Amino acid sequence: MDAVSLNEAWVNLLSLAPEIGQAGLETLIMLSIGLFSALVLGGPLGILLYLSQPGQMFANRTLCGVLGWFVNLVRSFPFIILLVTLGPLTRVLIGSTIGPVAASVSLSFAAIPYFARLVEQSLREIPRGVIEAAEAMGASPLRIIVSVLLNEARSGLISALTILTISFLSYSSVAGVVGGGGIGDLAIRYGYYRFQTEVMVAMVLLLVVIVQVIQFAGNRLAARLDKR
């Protein structure tokens, strides 16, 4: 690129600043709703998945089998297929299939079982004896879940959330292409369809920075919480 076209690229990017800001906001909306659903629904699902396993507090072969099967089923769908097939459901729930909120439905759908598995894996790290000690002291199931399971696994849970956030940043750009908007969508629309390479490069760089920041923050927090 010579000086003139480099200058043009900057001017173009600056003129797109409102769109870029809007795209960032849309990505933030998709990510927030997806992660919120994952925490609120996927978290308890993961706890239940763990506790229903043989030898655990609510050991139940049927429940464990059904939950595991459901989680695997949803997780085996390629995200793009989930996105398309959930269109009708999204229309019922949101009234539209366009926009970041609509895209959040399928994002949430994928994030819930994903996070549930990550939570289950983190909880498995806790030695059985520690849970048993709490049982021997007469702790209630709720107290064991909150004070023992979640507290002992807290650093692993933060790492799980970090992984989830980064994966879903990338999922959200796929969702954006099907009408959700966001940073990935902007990169495709301007950078790919309109041959404005500088927009594509800028958006990818932006994503690179965001991922690095999330991972760094996640690592720091996980390390600080880990007293093992």
Residue numbers of the site for other proteins (CB under 8 A)?
127, 129-130, 132-140, 143, 147-148, 151-152, 154-155, 225-228
Cα dist. 5→10, 197, 204 in Å?
9, 11, 20
Distance, CA of 80 to CA of 173 (rounded, Å): 11
Please report, as a single letter, which amino acid is at residue 177: V
Q: Closest distance between other proteins and the C-beta of residue 149, in Å?
A: 11
Least Cβ distance, residue 162 to other proteins (angstroms): 18
CA 191 to chain centroid: 25
CA distance 150 to 4: 57
- Calculated CA dihedral for residues 72, 103, 27, 155, nearest 10 degrees: -30
Q: Is the CB of 95 or the CB of 227 nearer to other proteins?
A: 227
Q: State the nearest-atom distance from the C-beta of 50 to other proteins, in Å.
A: 17
User: Of 3 and 228, which has the nearer Cβ to other proteins?
Assistant: 228
Tokens of 54: 């043989």
Closest distance to other proteins from the beta carbon of 163 (Å): 20
For other proteins, the closer CB: 26 or 152:
152
Nearer to other proteins, 47 or 203 (CB): 47
Measured from the CB of residue 131, what is the shortest distance to other proteins in angstroms? 9
- Whichever of 8 and 226 has its CB closer to other proteins, that residue is 226
57: nearest Cα among 147, 146, 140: 140
Interatomic CA distance for residues 38 and 112, integer angstroms: 4
